[in-house]
Chain A
Amino acid sequence: MPKTIFSIALLAALAFVPPGAAAQTNSCLECHKGLEAELQAPAANFAQDVHQQAGLTCADCHGGNPALADEDKAKDKTFKGAPKRAQIPELCASCHGDAAYMRKFNPRLRVDQLSQYQTSQHGKLLKKGDVKVAVCTDCHGVHGIQTAKFPKSPTFPWNVPQTCGRCHADADYMKAYGIPTDQAAQYKESVHAEALFEKKDMSAPVCNSCHGNHGAFPPEVKSIGSVCRQCHPSTGDLFAKSPHKKAFDDLGQSECEACHGNHRIVRPTTAMLGTDDKAVCVQCHDKGSKGYQAAAELKTLIDGFEVQIEKERATLDLAEKKGVETSDAAFKLQDVNTVLVSAKNLVHGLAVDEIRTKLAEGDQTLNDVEKAGAAALDEARFRRKGLIIATALLALFGIALFLKIRSMHKPA
């Protein structure tokens, strides 16, 4: 009887032990959990690491045998310890550069990160022995690595400026390289940052969208246009057909950047056009030149249309404030605004006639909006007049009633 009870108890105990439990023992984590802060961090962070979720262990990067509890035995001859910074790209690439191996985890993941890295400024300097430059772990983290799809990951779009800025915005750290350190601050004032941080538009460009990520390199004069064309292809095409293209090439001037800047690309306005101090055209075109006159003409065309849109918008807002529903007209005004945006884009082609034709497309709708705005204000006036008349009539009726009631209360 006792034997039977013992057998049942043993079977029950075995049934509750998960299969492979013994194999999951990780002496690295067990030991590191008990160490001081810096050495404890790897054990604490590894639980959230994408590699841990894929079934990898400490030994896959650091070697050794985590299955052995004894520290000396666990640190066997395969144990590599913490890799030196210069070794990290090769270490990561030993798996990430192996297409056959990576296919087991994520067949869509690229495997050319190391070769790209070696073409980057970071990779080139590392090869020269500069270990201050960014290696894989500087951007992706270490022992808590997450994919770029995870919002807390340093490579998630809205964390990228911060990640790059950790080094590039640190004036002391970057002193030796002699490059500006205000890129991240400038970017935060740009229209791209506005789209990313305020509108939460994940497709808005961040540092790596223009500079590349593993192959990070500052775009040269000739390639800036191509970088911007990734997202603004029609603007690029118009520019390529314009007289500016040859002139810029001859002058060795960078395309988009010359007028729009680089990191602090603000929302373009009509103020950039024309011949006054704020206009970018006067950077190259002298007073009286053909280009100067063309700039003035473009400014007049675009400005006139924009002023008209603002005037109609103000009329509709006023009517709306007075309580008249104007959403139909406001919707039409959006169409007119689309025409304006298209016309502003056409400025990159410098074809004045084409711009004039485009703006004419919006004239009819703009007239309709103008009529609707005027009608809305008329309606507001009509309502107020109607209220005055109705109130006067009701007041007369009320006074008559009041007098009647008072007369009824007088003693006969």
Chain B
Amino acid sequence: MKALGRNLFAYLDERFKLQGLFAFAEHKKVPEHEYSFWYYFGGIALFLSGIQVATGIMLLLYYTPSIDAAHESIQFIMSQVKFGWLIRSVHSWTANILIGILFVHMFSTFFLKAYRKPRELTWITGFFLLVLFMAFGFSGYLLPWNELSFFATRVGTDIAGALPLVGTWLKGVILGGTTVSQATLSRFFWFHVALLPLAAFTLIAIHVLLVQILGMSVPIKLKDKKLKEISFFPDFIYKDALGWTLILVLIGVICVFLPWEVGKKADPFAATPLGIKPEWYFTFMFTTLKLVPSHVLFVEGEVLAILAFLVGGIFWMLAPFLDRKAARGERSPAATWIGIILLLYIVVMTVLTYTVPKL
């Protein structure tokens, strides 16, 4: 048996040059220090992305992207398909947990200044990956064609439509018409299972490749210290796997006790239900739009807020280039404070959305 294994490995090694890959992994070192904990969130995000691909492919077997059958197909998956409830619940819950993990990963990277030279492109690809995964969430939310997702999409696309100059055009492109319809469902489905996965795979490949080439960043305050190092394989991977196992247990428990609901089928002619809101990761922007005054000087408040988010997003993406001190390897408390304020803003606005619904 051992001989068969050796022969098989030799066969594959001859063709895929596996020895080189193993040698790279074993020689690659990961620094260990008091902030090492935060390194594992990237790996967890990658693991959860894998779960999304696997469960998404399985859901494709039964899901029907038509306004007459989408809701029914989800109901069928949840009630009739063997383990369908589990696959769909894992897909929906993991999507939410994944975006939460991405936020943690992004802010930990920001506070540890891991974006500094030469990892600017790792940060930028990461930024676009967060945008892509939020787009995954937005497009996936509509697919079950239920009441909440239908009206949340309507509200969300209305916000896009409020953008100056390009708003009407952009809304038309997103919706495939003037309102949420079959055309919208078709293109959201296409976005969700074709365009976004293609873009995400490409970006993940670049992001992971950069992490492998450049290695893990060491926080500025520790950069001159002699740090303990562990090998990437198997030591770091073992620890990563422990994190994946814990998160898998968490997803399992949530899915069994709180399977993702099917909801009421969308009725385009019904009045918008009270308290409609988007997925939680959009709520900080949604609540801002609700709180902003109707006019700030001569500019419409909503337009101003949308533009502020756009400009803010661009600045956030360009953080490695704007934080000159970090680029020089010096501590940059100003950047840290900006990060803390932004994090507090997101947390407060999100909490307000759910605690003060009548804002």
Contact = CB atoms under 8 A, between A and B. Distances in A.
Interface of A: 323-328, 383-384, 386-387, 390-391, 394-395, 397-398, 401-402, 404-405, 408
B253 A391 contact: yes
What DSSP secondary structure best describes chain B's contact surface?
Answer: helix
B253 A401 contact: no
B245 A405 contact: no
Contact of A327 (B239, B245, B262): B262
B242 A328 contact: no
A408 B236 CA distance: 11
Contacts of B85: 323-325
9 contacts: A325-B75, A325-B79, A325-B259, A383-B256, A387-B256, A390-B252, A395-B249, A398-B245, A405-B242
Nearest to A322: B257
B249 A323 contact: no
B3 interface: no
Interface in B224-257: 230, 235, 238-239, 241-242, 245-246, 248-249, 252-253, 256-257
Given A326-B79, A327-B262, A328-B79, A401 B256 contact: no
B235 A405 contact: yes
Contacts of A404: 238
Contacts of A324: 85, 259
B245 A325 contact: no
How many of chain B's residues touch chain A, expressed as a range? 20 to 34
B218 interface: no
Contacts of A391: 249, 252-253
B256 to A, nearest CB: 4
Interface string B295-310: 0000000000000000
B256 A327 contact: no
Nearest to B75: A327
- Chain A interface SS verdict (over half): helix
Contacts of B230: 408
Contacts of B246: 398
Contact of B245 (A383, A386, A394, A408): A394
B239 A394 contact: no
Interface of B: 75, 78-79, 85-86, 230, 235, 238-239, 241-242, 245-246, 248-249, 252-253, 256-259, 262
B258 A387 contact: no
B75 A408 contact: no
A204 B188 CA distance: 43
Contacts of A387: 252-253, 256
A323 B79 CA distance: 10
A392 B259 CA distance: 20
Contacts of B235: 405, 408
A391 B230 CA distance: 29
A327 B85 CA distance: 13
Contact of B248 (A394, A405, A408): A394
Nearest to A380: B256
A389 to B, nearest CB: 11
Nearest to B80: A328
A384 B235 CA distance: 34
A404 B236 CA distance: 12
A214 B239 CA distance: 85
A327 B242 contact: no
Given A324-B259, A387-B252, A394-B245, 18 more contacts: A323-B258, A325-B78, A325-B259, A326-B79, A383-B256, A384-B256, A387-B256, A391-B252, A394-B248, A394-B249, A401-B238, A401-B241, A401-B242, A402-B242, A405-B235, A405-B238, A405-B239, A405-B242
Nearest to A404: B238
A402 B86 CA distance: 28
Nearest to A388: B256
A388 to B, nearest CB: 10
A373 to B, nearest CB: 13
A401 B242 CA distance: 6
Nearest to B236: A405
A323 B256 contact: yes
B259 A323 contact: yes
Contacts of A398: 242, 245-246, 249
A395 B242 CA distance: 10
B88 to A, nearest CB: 10
A401 B246 CA distance: 11
A138 B353 CA distance: 49
A314 B252 CA distance: 27
Contacts of B86: 383
Nearest to B257: A323
Contacts of B249: 391, 394-395, 398
B245 A401 contact: yes
Contacts of A397: 245
Contacts of B78: 325
Nearest to A396: B245
A409 to B, nearest CB: 9
